[in-house]
Amino acid sequence: MGDTKSPPDGRRRAAAGGAVVSSAIGIAALLIGLGPEFIRLLASAPLLALAVFALWYALTRTGWRRSAGAALGVAALIGIVIVAALGDRTSFVLAVAGVALLVVAAALGRWALGRDVRTLKAEPTAGAPVPPALRPVLLINPRSGGGKAERVGLVGACIQRDIEPVVLSPGDELRELALGAIERGADVIGMAGGDGSQAIVASVAAARDVGMVVVPAGTRNHLALDLGLDRNDLIGALEAFGAAVERRIDLGEVNGRVFVNNVSLGLYASIVRSPEYRDAKIDTTLATLPSVLGPGSAPFDLSFVGPDGTRHDGADVVQVSNNPYGRTPLIASRPRLDTDRLGVITLEIDDDRGAARFLSALAEGHPERYTGYAAWTPATFEVYSSTAVDVGLDGESLAIEPPLSFSIHHEALRVRLPLHAIGESPARNAMMPRSAARAVWDVARGKHGVSE
């Protein structure tokens, strides 16, 4: 994919023109509607700050303090709604219309630039063409994603396509099953499960230089997202066993364990290690936060050297990813999986006010403005501790003896993708607003558009 060589057709020019007109009218409507409400907007700012602080206070406290913080936060949110509702009806209608027109403009702009899902799927998927597998095998974790594989009839779909399904039973060792499948002659091996299962099979496939197929049968399926697969189409993912395209991607490693997505230490690891987490993620998170971030809680025993060479002792979050995440904070995906670099993010929160400042910076899309936040992309990274470190490795809870030594293996894994896959992560497909506006304007004028 890349820049189109021929001028955009009439329909895309019309869509781009519609996006330009809708944007102009939408912005004008917002300015007219919100103009008289400027004082009310100023009044909402301290209420929003109060809501953020109070809700964070509630999350990190127990008993009556949690109840009081939650009540204050809800009251602040209600106050924001009341302030907004004090405006006259015409201003409100104009503001709503402005937002609606901007949404329409965004949809038209994506289609004009060829960035809508239908167009992206119609484009050739990037990668080297490969023939159908001769001895395909798919390992299936029936418990992943709350039984997603069984709900879609994945085993039956494999049999129809002459793919050997291997369903995990309690007590089975996934690594041994993957090795056994390759020793029986599998030339392409797949995994239907979450990122933790994908990492185990990926380590075997990489070691044996066998192509791998990712079937997104887990809960979040970050690897599938960043490969540009449709996470809701398990059956469609099986087409990668047929005529497909192949790419080589990096694999992360920590103390001999492979990870395809990330390894989290500190806050997240403390949450996922709870036995109740898998069945009640939100409730367990709310119950765990006060003990790890509330008053009197000790900092995590995590030491590392930052990007400027300074040693840091104690951190609330340390996350190491297989390739760095994109710079668009609201799109939690990686633009590429072959940069040969780790992505490291660390967060140190000193007190409640610090937490509120970080949340404010995050809400503005600039977490780097908070002094306790750092992000960089080393080739190797180490974390030290005086005891075994609880980690969340691709969502799986483990304890690893220190020091934790992270590294990256460049293009270690051969991944096969269906010909119909988008083949790009949301972070890579995203454009900054300024670039997108310029590209849409060019298409409206009949110049070369962008199709990625």
The answer to whether residues 403 and 271 belong to one domain is: yes
- Shared domain for 242 and 324, answered yes or no, is no
CATH code of the domain in which 291 resides: 2.60.200.40
- Residue 57 included in any domain: yes
- Give domain status of residue 122, yes or no: no
Assigned domain for 415 exists: yes
Whether the per-residue pLDDT at 344 is higher than 60: the answer is yes
> Would you state the pLDDT for residue 452?
40
Beta-bridge mates of residue 396: 393
Say yes or no: 295 and 399 in one domain. yes
| Residues 6+ positions from 347 with CB-CB distance below 8 Å | 266, 315, 316, 317, 318, 358, 372, 373
Query: In terms of domains, do 236 and 322 share one?
Result: no
Supply the pLDDT for residue 125. 75
Task: Classify 62 as helix, strand or coil.
Answer: coil
Are 416 and 404 in the same domain? no
What is the rounded average pLDDT of the residues 361-370? Answer: 72
- Total domains in the fold of the chain: 3
278 and 377: one domain?
yes
What's the pTM value of the predicted model, to 2 decimals?
0.73
Query: Of 222 and 103, which is predicted with more confidence?
Result: 222
d(CA 228, CA 422): 5
Rank 72-76, 95-99, 300-304 by mean pLDDT and report only the highest.
300-304
Q: What percent of the chain has pLDDT over 90?
A: 41
Q: Are 181 and 301 in the same domain?
A: no
| 160 shares its domain with 51 | no
CATH of the domain at 137: 3.40.50.10330
pLDDT digits (tens, 9 = 90+) for 144-180: 988 999 999 999 999 999 999 999 999 899 999 999 9
C-beta separation of 7 from 446 below 8 A: yes
Other Cβ atoms within 10 Å of 135 Cβ, number: 15
Whether 169 is in a domain gets the answer yes
pLDDT in tens, 282-313: 443 334 444 445 555 556 889 999 999 999 99
Residue 120 lies in a domain: no
Mean pLDDT along residues 316-323: 91
Mean pLDDT for the stretch of residues 361-390: 86
Mean pLDDT taken over the chain: 79
Answer whether residue 190 shows pLDDT above 90. Answer: yes
Q: Which domain holds residue 140?
A: 128-252+411-427
**What is the number of H-type helices and E-type strands within the chain?**
16, 19
Do 289 and 348 lie in one domain? The reply is: yes
3-state secondary structure of 118: helix
Q: Is residue 123 part of a domain?
A: no
pLDDT at 195 over 60: yes
Residue 279: is its pLDDT beyond 60?
A: no
Instruction: Judge contact between 304 and 318, C-beta under 8 A.
Output: yes
pLDDT at residue 209, rounded to an integer: 96
- Cis before 403 (ω within 30): yes
CA 192 to centroid of chain Cα atoms: 19
The pLDDT of residue 285 is 37
Could you write out the DSSP letters of every residue in 280-307?
-HHHHHHHHHHHHHSTTPPPPS-EEE-T
Do 220 and 275 lie in a common domain? no
Whether 284 maps to a domain, the answer reads yes
Within a domain: 286: yes
Residue 443, helix vs strand vs coil? helix
DSSP letters for 131-200: PPPSSEEEEE-TTGGGTHHHHTTHHHHHHHTTPEEEE--TT--HHHHHHHHHHTT-SEEEEEE-HHHHHH
Shared domain for 348 and 445, answered yes or no, is no
Higher pLDDT, 17 or 254: 254
Residues 147 and 172 in one domain: yes
DSSP state of 322: E
Lowest-pLDDT range, 319-323, 397-401, 440-444?
A: 440-444
